Structure 1
Amino acid sequence: MDADPDHRGTPLYDVAALRAVEARAAGRSGDAFILMARAGQAAWREVLRHWPQAHRIAVVCGPGNNGGDGYELARHALLAGRQVRVLRLQAHAPRTSLAQRACAAFIEAGGCVEDAGEGMPLAESDLVVDAMFGIGLARAPDAQATALIGAINAAGLPVLSLDLPSGVDAATGAAPGAAVRATRTLQFIAAHAGLATGAALACTGALSLAPLECAHLLADVPMAALRLDAGDLSGWLAPRRRDAHKGDSGYVLCVGGDLGTGGAVMLAADAALRCGAGLVGIATRPEHVAPALARRPEAMVRGIDTPALLEPQLSRAGVVALGPGLGQAEWGSALYRRVLEADRRVLLDADALNLLAGEPRTLRADTVLTPHPGEAARLLGMRVAEVQGNRYAAARLLAERHGCVVVLKGAGSLVAAPGRVPRVVAAGNPGMAVGGMGDLLSGCIAALWAQGLDAFEAACCGALLHAVAGDTAARDGERGLLPGDLLDSMRRWSNAEAVS
């Protein structure tokens, strides 16, 4: 990955990086087992921190070094006087020398290993520790492991997963088959890129990190991504000068709103205004002018029958948000082509993305695309499951293919651009899965872009601000959350220094 001037956020690493650090640590210590011993100790401390009253602990061990970490935790729990049951499938006898050593140490301390077959009485435990599969698994678990994972999930007990929930791909965040749904996940060495996006978010529970005294070994290891959370908004947007005027904050033009979908372009304009654009225009069907002005008199609304009528607004626009409610019929297609011919800074969303998928064309390098997984699949000519199976790869491929900035929306939204370290948004909630949320995002990014951030920074800051505003608005409950509920929060978070 090329050098990136802004490292705001928390570094995330891929499997290759974690393996490299493991090898370095083993080389420097002269004994690879030291790292496993540290992992076992850190895991036992995690149990004591979050489940101090857990007396009956079931540890489910797999065949590799993740299982070895589990044996080490079990040994510490046994020596502390807890009732410990180590469970494993017959096919999961330790295969690595480190796991064999850890298993032998557990047995020497007085422990025993049970067969995790059918009828395994997990319900008799206070806590289940998942140490089946580590960062090396990138496929669906086999039938026996799938049944065991199902038993863990069905037990109704708190679950601590070591390094990652078994069944989750540490590189991509996908769960190609059954996966443990943990209460907490303790990552080892460094935060894993795959646990920040996609299906992994439904499996990890709360995340913790145990560096295992390896933080210094990460200094020259390339990051896979940077994770952004609410705290990263602070200071991103500079305070305005006392003598600022509306022209300093840019002019955003929102283009869209075919018959029946006028609300989409209005939501984009609402967000652009609430996120600080100095001037916001709406180009839409003439039938929508009166409702738009009644809803938002601060916007400059113009009814557009033909592309020629777009010229007065288009000539002034600093950033164009093209696509919300645009449609793919003759009216929307004509406006789409005219905007792209005008050589303006453009954000493409919704039907503008579908039109691009049908008519691929060269885009400016500072264009921003904001697809959801379905739109991304159409742009890439693949299935949605393939996009979700490796969201990092899909976002990277979209950015490379179109040579511009891409925001791949969804759980753990990703921002990618050629030569930039990807960003992952650690905010947002299921309540935001409702029509119109993407229109708000379009207006938000366009407003930040118009105020002076470059395309990539506007996309990163906007995606984060939008998600954090969604979390703020969802404090009264996720179900029934509406896009309009976010507007006040978007204003507050666009003034992040003032948010308590």
Structure 2
Amino acid sequence: MEVIKLTASLPQPVYSANQVLSNEAAAADAKGIPLFELMKSAGRAAFELLSQQAEQASSVLIVAGKGNNGGDGYVLARHCAAAGFMVSLLVLADEEKITGDAAKALAMLDPDSVNLRFEPDLAKANKMIAAFEGDWLVDAIFGIGLKGKLTRAWQQLLTTINEHYSQIISLDIPSGLCATTGHVENVAVAADYTVTFIVLKQGLLTGKAANYIGDLWLATLDVQTEFVQTIAAQAFAQGTSGLPAITPRRPTIHKGSIGLVLAMGGNLGMPGAIRMAAESSLRTGASLVAVACHQENQAIVVQGRPELMLAPSEPERLISSSFVEKAKVILIGPGLGRDAWANQLMQAALKADKPMVVDADALFAMKSLRAFSNNWVLTPHPGEAAFLLDCDIATIEADRFGAVTAIAQKYGGICVLKGAGSLIGDGQKVIVNTTGNAGMASGGMGDVLSGIIAALILQTGSMMDATRLAVSIHGQAAELVTQNIGMRGLLASDLFEPIRQLVNQY
């Protein structure tokens, strides 16, 4: 049974919990595989992952529920025992509560090879988990069918698992994590490894999920093809392959044919944001970049980067200037501020009627002007997304897929909801990006991304293609910088050189 690491299995469609629960039986039937055989395959796949990571003489505690996720754990226990592991199986239910395929899997266990205990009392189970002195702990408790809030007793049990020193493997999904949204209501198992089955669940790839899944692996159980052919996906995951390409440059190309990015922002006291956005556009291949910033920032913005041009600071002069006329893309927002000048600049950008990248403070101006366009890319972080949808950040993070879709539908165009597992939505489908790391939690990263998107719109001719490629390159650049020197201290401007390297690969 092949178990594939996430990075080796992208791009591919991803699905909600309901899609999987409602259709896995049909996919198995299409392949002629009974559901019980699917459970046996899942347990075998989990064993393959565990045996890759653990020594054969290791001791393992499998904490299992009464449902099908528990059944996967029972199968895993059988394989571990046969391979010489010292196996303890803690079932969090009375034996008579276990029915269906899970009961069949339980009946296949050799009671002499496994230390089996049924314990529906969670307080007692909690003490047993805390007392375990082995190397590996397997979470086979809830699976993707979890609904509602966890009781205090369940919260305490999951917390005890997390506090244990052993390595943790979660089957299908860490218990407590929503497979559809990636939301954690209060606590979830923080796994070192997660092996998910058949197809990727979208909630594993965005938001809080990054704190819980550890290394993510996929076991297709030989029915992924049938599932994908039968069920239309609304979300897709991308990594570093299968991305849109940039048209190769012909020998006779010139700067005018590539085009000008006009970057607007950099209000008084905020020159850095627009400078980083503008320079990232240059490093991504924009042949010409002009900056319209506050007059007192002009010298700072172009210092050390003479390739940047300066457009008029006054909105009235700017709108009638050659820079607006020649611009193929307008980037607005980094360091823009929220004063009268900022609003006037936003009105000028809207009047120009060009493809736009709208970031940071420009999102606030856009909403106040009740603007709508299908010719722009919006790049909010969760706080800005909450403002755009008149809710709080917790609501955004509870359903990031719903939020990115709602923003694109309400304001038009394409929305990038930034954060761990950034989402790209056009109001219909959603792309989940999987590149990047925690080192990107530093000032200016969003400004650099907006500049990459603007430059790629020039070079791809497609807003969606440009955005998908930009978000991936942005994350890849951070990975390249941090792979040898670590994440702490990563600066947004550190990405410029790897951005240049990466964009030439596409």
The question of a shared fold, defined as TM-score above 0.5 by the shorter chain, is answered with yes
Q: 1:213 to 1:30 in 2, by over 3 A?
A: closer
1:4 corresponds in structure 2 to none
- 1:234-277 per-position Cα deviation (integer Å, ceiling 9, x unaligned): x7113211111111222100000001111111111000000000
- 1:73-127 per-position Cα deviation (integer Å, ceiling 9, x unaligned): 0111122232111123347975441222222322656532253232534541111
Q: Does 1:106 align with 2:109?
A: yes
Match of 2:383 among 359, 362, 374: 374
The secondary structure found in structure 1 opposite 2:406 is helix
8 Å CA contact retained: 1:21, 1:217: no
2:278 corresponds in structure 1 to 269
2:345 corresponds in structure 1 to 335
Relative to the length of structure 1, the TM-score reads: 0.93
Structure 2 unpaired stretches of 5+: 1-9, 120-124
8 Å CA contact retained: 2:385, 2:396: yes
Sequence identity percentage: 38
2:471 corresponds in structure 1 to 463
8 Å CA contact retained: 2:354, 2:375: no
1:183-262 matches, within 5 Å, as: 183-218=192-227, 219-233=229-243, 236-262=245-271
Moved more, 188-197 or 223-232: 223-232
1:44 corresponds in structure 2 to 47
1:140-155 matches, within 5 Å, as: 140-155=149-164
Match of 1:440 among 448, 453, 462: 448
Distance apart, 1:46 and its partner CA: 1.3
Match of 1:75 among 54, 74, 78: 78
2:327 corresponds in structure 1 to 317
8 Å CA contact retained: 1:56, 1:84: yes
1:5 corresponds in structure 2 to none
Corresponding letter in the other structure for 1:456:
M
Distance apart, 1:457 and its partner CA: 1.1
Distance apart, 1:402 and its partner CA: 1.6
Q: 1:386 to 1:92 in 2, by over 3 A?
A: farther
Q: In structure 2, what is the Cα distance between the partners aligned to 1:257 and 1:179?
A: 42
Q: 1:125 to 1:473 in 2, by over 3 A?
A: same
Distance apart, 1:441 and its partner CA: 0.6
Structure 1 unpaired stretches of 5+: 1-7
Q: 1:47 to 1:119 in 2, by over 3 A?
A: closer
8 Å CA contact retained: 1:186, 1:208: yes
Distance apart, 1:353 and its partner CA: 0.5
- 1:159-181 per-position Cα deviation (integer Å, ceiling 9, x unaligned): 11100111111111111121111
Distance apart, 1:325 and its partner CA: 0.4
1:423 corresponds in structure 2 to 431
Distance apart, 1:303 and its partner CA: 4.4
2:336 corresponds in structure 1 to 326
Distance apart, 1:433 and its partner CA: 1.0
1:483 corresponds in structure 2 to 492
Q: In structure 2, what is the Cα distance between the partners aligned to 1:206 and 1:30?
A: 28
The secondary structure found in structure 1 opposite 2:330 is strand
- 1:53-80 per-position Cα deviation (integer Å, ceiling 9, x unaligned): 4521100101211011001101111222
The secondary structure found in structure 1 opposite 2:470 is helix
Q: Does 1:174 align with 2:183?
A: yes
Q: 1:119 to 1:453 in 2, by over 3 A?
A: same
- 1:4-26 per-position Cα deviation (integer Å, ceiling 9, x unaligned): xxxx9222122233224421145
8 Å CA contact retained: 1:226, 1:424: yes
Distance apart, 1:224 and its partner CA: 3.3
Q: 1:452 to 1:110 in 2, by over 3 A?
A: closer
Moved more, 93-102 or 253-262: 93-102
Corresponding letter in the other structure for 1:337:
Q
Corresponding letter in the other structure for 1:449:
I
Relative to the length of structure 2, the TM-score reads: 0.92
The secondary structure found in structure 2 opposite 1:382 is coil
Distance apart, 1:133 and its partner CA: 1.0
Q: In structure 1, what is the Cα distance between the partners aligned to 2:130 and 2:299?
A: 66
- 1:34-64 per-position Cα deviation (integer Å, ceiling 9, x unaligned): 1111111111111111213452110010121
Q: Does 1:496 align with 2:498?
A: no
Q: In structure 1, what is the Cα distance between the partners aligned to 2:94 and 2:395?
A: 31
1:385 corresponds in structure 2 to 394
Q: 1:212 to 1:463 in 2, by over 3 A?
A: same
8 Å CA contact retained: 2:42, 2:72: yes
2:414 corresponds in structure 1 to 405
Q: In structure 2, what is the Cα distance between the partners aligned to 1:92 and 1:458?
A: 55
8 Å CA contact retained: 2:57, 2:86: no
Distance apart, 1:31 and its partner CA: 3.6
Match of 1:282 among 291, 306, 319: 291
Q: In structure 1, what is the Cα distance between the partners aligned to 2:403 and 2:142?
A: 25
1:451 corresponds in structure 2 to 459
CA RMSD of aligned residues (A): 1.9
Distance apart, 1:231 and its partner CA: 2.8
Q: Does 1:57 align with 2:66?
A: no
The secondary structure found in structure 2 opposite 1:173 is coil
1:132 corresponds in structure 2 to 141
Distance apart, 1:393 and its partner CA: 0.6
Corresponding letter in the other structure for 2:92:
L
Distance apart, 1:403 and its partner CA: 2.3
Q: In structure 2, what is the Cα distance between the partners aligned to 1:413 and 1:307?
A: 36
- 1:404-427 per-position Cα deviation (integer Å, ceiling 9, x unaligned): 1101100000100034x3111101
Moved more, 239-248 or 322-331: 239-248
Q: In structure 1, what is the Cα distance between the partners aligned to 2:57 and 2:300?
A: 60
Q: In structure 2, what is the Cα distance between the partners aligned to 1:480 and 1:92?
A: 53
